[in-house]
Chain A
């Protein structure tokens, strides 16, 4: 039963995508939306059925399906194989359920767009690719999905291709993730060489058995980390995600907030056993995650574009997940991944609806006072913002962030035998990040929804868009209560779900730790209210002239740096390559040969001429001399005969 349902889970959106792309231009807008929603909806239903089947089975049960043999050669084998275990189950539910809500929303959002068929075929293809990524039990098979989602992301960021800026953003996203993909491929090659297979179980077993040298494990983990960092837009690859907001808003919600960018987190969570054996890489992951979360939060603070604020906040939240992964609490990372998918999708979709009704205005300073014009959307955005900030007890974000913070507090990085590193500084920075998160998102809330009205809101949000928002509101508020710190009612459904045998213990958790985690967002909210929330705000805009603000607004100059270090040299190189140097060289050689042969030809001709002239002259002289002999005097003839005879005799005698 499960063996049939699991491939169907992927097939439904895939078939929907193919139907839409084949029938493009022949069926109406509504039909296209319906096909897409049915495809993803069927997938969601199948996902729920399979989850129920999996959970009702034995505790450690998995549902493996080997579809067919992909590549079998001497020393290496790969299969097209899927596995539904508890980790992938969580992801499947997130992808299909959130995906379905976003698809329903998109039917309303994209109704007027002429390219709706292309949009939905890419979106459903994305869902299929994402499901391949999630369900694959072979890393090479996972790589199909990994690149597939990248391709869909490229197509959707550049969806409105009439503007070259959009396609440039799309290419940037693809190139940067492609660099990570190349690194990931190197990691896969290393593991494949060592383990002879890329089946996740086999790879982890090989690593555990010591078939891979410790240095090899570190290098492989590093390669995979680079791939994950690029896909999840972490430092130093973060620059593509803010630009990726050029795509339609449902795309930003689905791909660049809820699912694709979390693929890196998922991959590392999948391979957490491998990473556990690479302590330095783990520490690096944690440090990069912390760096990203602080840097992105600071950047979000000074942005003025609503979608870019949310993009930077996504980067920052992904930083939390990487921090958790680096600290070994991958369960917390997955938990935050799930709640983040809910509230960030909510924030993006609400922002999309707001922007649409405010006449496509994205600048938060030109929006403003929208509270009265659109109360429903305001409520939804506030719910999303609270969950993102992690306001204590009532939001999902609080519980997941709390789980990460407590995990970070307890961690010790054993870099070498004698040198260990405590996680406390990272905890402090993560707490600061929580404060900043509340600050920047409520800055956004107060500026956009309170104060004086800026733009005139038109129309109303259609029901197709409203219902998904309602569902996501509910999930953002209540999706977190399945896992609570021990200080509160000790409820550990999520960790028990992931790993029934050894649930994560929170036993020795001091009360003040939870309290600190709860107070940081509240403090952020308070400060934001003081700064931007009053009737006459203390400051509307953070002074834009300050050098640091300008620097931060531009993403800390990383774009400019990359432009200088990578893009311009590459441009120069391609400019140099405009003429094939080797071609020039060989053509030049040819030309030179021709020139030389021409000269040789001329020289030869000249030489022959001269030779002929000389020859004629010499013949003349010779004739003259011979003529002299032939002078008609008998004495001379007799003398010649006698001389010749003497000479002949002398030669005959002497020889």
Chain B
């Protein structure tokens, strides 16, 4: 009995419980919202235990895939519920769970309105994310891809800040529209496979063996690429991100920046590069160009922002440019660099959004001019912010640098000019990160600063764990690199294929 379906279903079922828990008004003194919070925490703990089980359980067969689950869903169409787990999806699921714990400890308790519904949607998003990371049936993948979107839309639209409706709509339009292109691509691939072999199936491993003409494979790959590019985001289609990140409530910002963006990177690795290796390598120059453009453009715009959350959002675009660059260098080094960058960025940016959320909760503003220096009033929060800002600027010894260095190294192999251009992004990242530090942490306090409470020691301990993670990623990334390698292509690797379908 494999725990994979439980892993996927548990959060959404638990979310329903959390909603119910809020409805049943307890007669004790504790407010209702705490009930749903406790349920959500319990669900996450069970989920973590399940994941530990998957992680430590040795698969009965020696193969790169750690877990497998398959059952027919719509047999007439060849659609099955098929879940497979390799190192890449496992490490990204771990990242998701860690970030969910962070949100739960640091952000969602502050939600006062309709906390039960909030937790339900929060956990439903988690289900979508985990499902996306596990699904190896293309139809199922698309299902989870869309499932992830809807609760997030509601979270932004209902619990967001002042301009939430517009931001949520923009987010929905972009991801939904690009998702449709991906659906077309999926259908195109399935039909191509049907014409070729007469078998109607949505199975990832079977479809990967479809012989395709170069033009068709390029077209199909572009459909996938558009969907993932919007999610990652890649520069011309990034415009939903700053608004959505800025307007979302803290927990949703964390989920968006920490994990939702990673689904784009995951998809590119799993579906673009692995399903269409030839088309991807032909497309690589353009993709790398887009990656560099993203790095520089995101950093440049980040330098110009006055809104803390917007600044962090644009810095995310810059960091995700490295992921795109690394994936399309076509080498293992670049891929591993991109994965490390995803993990490090997920942790670091999530922490920065939590810091920004804590500031907004206390001062009710995100405008850096109106925040002023906080070090004297809140040394703990400020030093946390300083640490993660420094991590964001790519300090060696912290996770981001490892990722960026590997990506740069792989890029240098392809083109030294592009790599040199990319290092300019490192200078820009120093500019925006330190600008933020010198505006809101290490600066003279505003005269009208009301007395504020620093973050309590137990929250500091949570942040300290994230810091430790980043240091480990920076100084000892080797286990993660070996662990999170995506499983080899089933097409090229016969043993992998046999192992994958026991």
Which residues does A use to contact B, with CB under 8 Å? Answer: 21, 24-25, 68-76, 80, 140, 143-144, 146-148, 151, 154-155, 158, 161-164, 167-168, 170-171, 174-175, 178-179, 181-183, 185-186, 189-190, 192-193, 573-578, 580, 582-583, 586-587
23 pairs of residues in contact across A and B, judged by CB atoms under 8 Å: A70-B475, A71-B402, A73-B336, A73-B406, A140-B396, A144-B397, A146-B396, A148-B395, A155-B442, A161-B375, A161-B444, A162-B373, A163-B444, A164-B443, A171-B434, A175-B431, A182-B423, A182-B427, A192-B409, A193-B413, A576-B304, A577-B301, A577-B303
CA distance A586 to B406 in the complex (A): 34
Q: Which of B304, B336, B420 contacts A574 (CB 8 A)?
A: B304
Known: A70-B475, A583-B239. 17 other contacts (CB 8 A): A21-B383, A24-B379, A71-B477, A73-B333, A140-B405, A148-B397, A158-B442, A161-B438, A162-B444, A171-B435, A174-B434, A182-B426, A182-B427, A189-B408, A189-B419, A574-B300, A583-B242
**Which B434-481 residues have a C-beta within 8 angstroms of A?**
434-435, 438, 442-444, 475-478, 481
How many Å from the CB of B315 to the closest CB on chain A? 13
A185 touches B375 (CB 8 A): no
A189 touches B412 (CB 8 A): yes
B427 touches A71 (CB 8 A): no
Across-interface contacts of A182 in B (CB, < 8 A): 423-424, 426-427
Task: Tell me the nearest residue of chain A to B336, going by C-beta.
Answer: A73
Task: Tell me the nearest residue of chain B to A216, going by C-beta.
Answer: B416
The answer to whether residues A178 and B304 also contact, given A69-B478, A144-B397, A167-B443 and a CB cut-off of 8 A, is: no
CA distance A155 to B444 in the complex (A): 15
Across-interface contacts of B395 in A (CB, < 8 A): 147-148, 151
CA distance A181 to B424 in the complex (A): 10
A25 touches B333 (CB 8 A): no
Across-interface contacts of B193 in A (CB, < 8 A): none
A73 touches B332 (CB 8 A): yes
B478 touches A70 (CB 8 A): yes
Across-interface contacts of A175 in B (CB, < 8 A): 427, 430-431, 434
How many Å from the CB of B453 to the closest CB on chain A? 15
- The verdict on B235 contacting chain A, using a C-beta distance below 8 Å, is yes
- The verdict on B26 contacting chain A, using a C-beta distance below 8 Å, is no
Across-interface contacts of B438 in A (CB, < 8 A): 158, 161, 167-168, 170-171
CA distance A575 to B305 in the complex (A): 9
B236 touches A578 (CB 8 A): no
Across-interface contacts of A582 in B (CB, < 8 A): 235-236, 238-239, 297
- Most A Cβ at <10 Å: residue of B238, B395, B423, B431: B423
CA distance A68 to B472 in the complex (A): 12
B476 touches A70 (CB 8 A): yes
- The verdict on B123 contacting chain A, using a C-beta distance below 8 Å, is no
Q: Which of A143, A174, A190, A192 contacts B396 (CB 8 A)?
A: A143
B419 touches A186 (CB 8 A): yes
**Which B297-312 residues have a C-beta within 8 angstroms of A?**
297, 300-301, 303-304
A interface footprint on B274-307 (CB within 8 Å = 1, 0 otherwise): 0000000000000000000000010011011000
Across-interface contacts of A574 in B (CB, < 8 A): 300, 303-304
Across-interface contacts of A69 in B (CB, < 8 A): 478
A178 touches B427 (CB 8 A): yes
CA distance A213 to B304 in the complex (A): 42
Across-interface contacts of A151 in B (CB, < 8 A): 390, 395
A193 touches B239 (CB 8 A): no
A161 touches B419 (CB 8 A): no
CA distance A178 to B394 in the complex (A): 11
A76 touches B239 (CB 8 A): no
B238 touches A174 (CB 8 A): no
Task: Tell me the nearest residue of chain A to B317, going by C-beta.
Answer: A580
Across-interface contacts of B238 in A (CB, < 8 A): 582
Across-interface contacts of B301 in A (CB, < 8 A): 577, 580
B242 touches A186 (CB 8 A): no
Decide if the interface of chain B is mainly helix, strand, loop or mixed: helix
A186 touches B304 (CB 8 A): no
B481 touches A71 (CB 8 A): yes
How many Å from the CB of B371 to the closest CB on chain A? 14
The answer to whether residues A189 and B409 also contact, given A164-B444, A167-B442 and a CB cut-off of 8 A, is: yes
B333 touches A76 (CB 8 A): yes
CA distance A642 to B336 in the complex (A): 93
How many Å from the CB of A254 to the closest CB on chain B? 20
What 3 A-B pairs come out closest when comparing CB atoms? Answer: A577-B304, A574-B304, A182-B423
Across-interface contacts of B443 in A (CB, < 8 A): 161, 164, 167
Across-interface contacts of A76 in B (CB, < 8 A): 333, 409
CA distance A185 to B394 in the complex (A): 12
A interface footprint on B403-421 (CB within 8 Å = 1, 0 otherwise): 0011011001100100110
**Which B183-213 residues have a C-beta within 8 angstroms of A?**
none
CA distance A40 to B293 in the complex (A): 45
The answer to whether residues A154 and B332 also contact, given A70-B477, A574-B304 and a CB cut-off of 8 A, is: no
B300 touches A185 (CB 8 A): no
- Most A Cβ at <10 Å: residue of B235, B336, B396, B435: B396
How many Å from the CB of A198 to the closest CB on chain B? 10
CA distance A183 to B420 in the complex (A): 8
The answer to whether residues A186 and B423 also contact, given A74-B333, A167-B443, A174-B434 and a CB cut-off of 8 A, is: yes
Q: Which of B239, B397, B427 contacts A580 (CB 8 A)?
A: B239
How many Å from the CB of B468 to the closest CB on chain A? 12
Q: Which of A68, A70, A179 contacts B427 (CB 8 A)?
A: A179
CA distance A193 to B413 in the complex (A): 7
Across-interface contacts of A140 in B (CB, < 8 A): 396, 405
A147 touches B409 (CB 8 A): no
CA distance A183 to B336 in the complex (A): 24
CA distance A408 to B236 in the complex (A): 56
Across-interface contacts of B300 in A (CB, < 8 A): 573-574, 577
CA distance A167 to B423 in the complex (A): 24
Task: Tell me the nearest residue of chain B to A114, going by C-beta.
Answer: B376
Across-interface contacts of A75 in B (CB, < 8 A): 333, 413
CA distance A146 to B396 in the complex (A): 9
How many Å from the CB of A144 to the closest CB on chain B? 4
How many Å from the CB of A29 to the closest CB on chain B? 16
Across-interface contacts of A576 in B (CB, < 8 A): 304
CA distance A222 to B320 in the complex (A): 30
How many Å from the CB of B306 to the closest CB on chain A? 8
Across-interface contacts of A170 in B (CB, < 8 A): 438
Across-interface contacts of A161 in B (CB, < 8 A): 373, 375, 438, 442-444
How many Å from the CB of B292 to the closest CB on chain A? 14
The answer to whether residues A185 and B408 also contact, given A144-B396, A161-B373, A193-B413 and a CB cut-off of 8 A, is: yes
CA distance A134 to B476 in the complex (A): 21
Across-interface contacts of B332 in A (CB, < 8 A): 73-74
How many Å from the CB of B409 to the closest CB on chain A? 6
CA distance A163 to B442 in the complex (A): 10
Across-interface contacts of B336 in A (CB, < 8 A): 73
CA distance A393 to B445 in the complex (A): 53
CA distance A25 to B460 in the complex (A): 15
CA distance A167 to B301 in the complex (A): 22
A178 touches B242 (CB 8 A): no
Across-interface contacts of B239 in A (CB, < 8 A): 580, 582-583, 586-587
CA distance A574 to B303 in the complex (A): 6
Across-interface contacts of A178 in B (CB, < 8 A): 426-427, 430
CA distance A151 to B333 in the complex (A): 28
How many Å from the CB of B103 to the closest CB on chain A? 25
B420 touches A186 (CB 8 A): yes
How many Å from the CB of A571 to the closest CB on chain B? 10
How many Å from the CB of A592 to the closest CB on chain B? 15
How many Å from the CB of A263 to the closest CB on chain B? 14
A80 touches B475 (CB 8 A): yes
**Which B21-79 residues have a C-beta within 8 angstroms of A?**
none
**Which B140-195 residues have a C-beta within 8 angstroms of A?**
none
How many Å from the CB of B482 to the closest CB on chain A? 9
How many Å from the CB of A356 to the closest CB on chain B? 23
Across-interface contacts of A168 in B (CB, < 8 A): 438
CA distance A161 to B373 in the complex (A): 9
Task: Tell me the nearest residue of chain A to B423, going by C-beta.
Answer: A182
